[in-house]
Amino acid sequence: MKLKDLSVIVASWESRQWDAFVAEYLPAGVLTDAFWSGRPCPCPICGGKDRFTYTRNRDRGDWVCRKCNNGSPGGGDGLELVRRYTNMSYFELKRRLNGINNPVPLDLPNRPVSDRKPLDSAAKMRRIERQWTGAASLTPGDHAMQYLAARVPGLRAPKPQSLRLAVQEYWHEKQLIGKYPTIVAQFTLPDGRMATVHRTTLDRHKPAKATVVTADGEILPNKRNDVSALSPRGGAVRLMPPRDGELGIAEGLETAYAAYMLFGIPTWYSLNRVLLSQFVVPDGLGVHTVHIFADFDEIDVKTGKSPGMADALGLQKRLRSEGFKVVLHRPRVRGTDFCDEWRTAYQLRQLSEQAIAA
């Protein structure tokens, strides 16, 4: 069998296809909001805490790191990023992109680099299972429910089986920053297996995300994925069961709940737009209609597209080809999501009720 060259395979790829390729091979813990938005973040190759940027300069999964070549700047496209992270050869990459998988599993390192031995898949699974089983189910009035009520006012929804609450230590570069109430979300693959957990760090005293700051003033992310025991491709956080064959999918937790309040559609969330584009409807749930609740992002000047809408449209096209009825929803105002739209609608409703009462 003659293999197609890498250049032939990727020549027609669009920016979102490069994003999807990168997301397939890098762990969920690397694919943070900072990573996708092009802000400085930890390097998945050398481990530097704020020296890496996913730039997309040429729309080829482009990246730069200030000190990735033995202390010197480094960079490249998505192929180079995946190759260097996984230690694959270009030949092995070519085999995989031609649909031929190596029978020997890749020994993916647990980046960022540290002096610990890399965790294997079994160890990663034990780690995320400990986080999940160590958290408690949500109860009315607890810290998580107060946070959700503040972010999605008037929230009334089925009790989520995929969200739990814990008090977790926040570690950064071997330093304990503190202990915080934390929403732990179970990220589930289409076949029902847990791939990772996503953590939202909350303020100790008020219903809001925590501001986590190191001793030297660095502001740390309050939303983090843990290690991924399995590739997250196709999965989602399952907030509530489908109803009457209908299911919604959104990018974020608050957006999913806001969409439910606006449309009454049971909605899951995928953590980010790339994973939304990769979402797979699980078998056996009787789903025939999928509602996509897209973030109406500002236009990216490099691509001329709204990133959130572009990935939502890609998902819509694929799901329709698979035989699903698909309804794509977007907010009315550019630069907003459905959480913004619900909060506006709720405030207008409150003002209207106050006017009537007066």
Quick one: 17 and 112 in the same domain?
yes
Q: Which has the closest alpha carbon to 170: 102, 230, 222, 248?
A: 222
Residue 17 in domain? yes
Q: In CATH, what number is assigned to the domain containing residue 324?
A: 3.40.50
Look at residue 105 and tell me whether its pLDDT is greater than 60. Answer: no
Quick one: 256 and 270 in the same domain?
yes
Number of domains in the chain: 3
* Banded model confidence at residue 106, pLDDT cuts 50, 70, 90: very low
Quick one: 249 and 353 in the same domain?
yes
Quick one: 262 and 337 in the same domain?
yes
Quick one: 128 and 201 in the same domain?
yes
Quick one: 109 and 126 in the same domain?
no
Residue 134 in domain? yes
Look at residue 86 and tell me whether its pLDDT is greater than 70. Answer: yes
Collapsed DSSP state (helix, strand, coil) of residue 304: coil
Quick one: 69 and 92 in the same domain?
yes
Contacts of 301 (CB under 8 A, 6+ apart): none
* Residue 95: predicted pLDDT: 78
pLDDT tens-place string over residues 190-228? 999 999 999 999 999 999 999 998 888 888 888 887 777
Quick one: 14 and 53 in the same domain?
yes
Model-level pTM? 0.71
Domain that holds residue 109: 6-118
Last residue of a domain, one of 195, 225, 255: 225
Quick one: 219 and 150 in the same domain?
yes
CB atoms < 10 A from the CB of 17, how many? 17
Bridge partners of 38, per DSSP, are none
Single-letter amino acid, residue 136? A
Last residue of a domain, one of 92, 118, 144: 118
Residue 230 in domain? no
pLDDT tens-place string over residues 261-300? 999 999 999 999 889 999 999 999 999 999 999 999 999 8
Quick one: 107 and 141 in the same domain?
no
Token pair 């986590």 is at which residue? 212
Share of the chain above pLDDT 90, in %: 48
Residue 231 in domain? no
Look at residue 70 and tell me whether its pLDDT is greater than 80. Answer: no
pLDDT tens-place string over residues 314-339? 999 999 999 999 999 999 999 999 99
Last residue of a domain, one of 198, 225, 252: 225
With beta carbons less than 8 A apart as the criterion, state whether 66 and 22 touch.
Answer: no
Residue 202 in domain? yes
User: ω into residue 266 within 30 of 0, thus cis?
Assistant: no
Quick one: 213 and 243 in the same domain?
no
Residue 145 in domain? yes
pLDDT tens-place string over residues 227-249? 777 888 899 999 999 999 999 99
Residue 1 in domain? no
Mean pLDDT lowest among 39-43, 90-94, 154-158: 90-94
Quick one: 240 and 219 in the same domain?
no
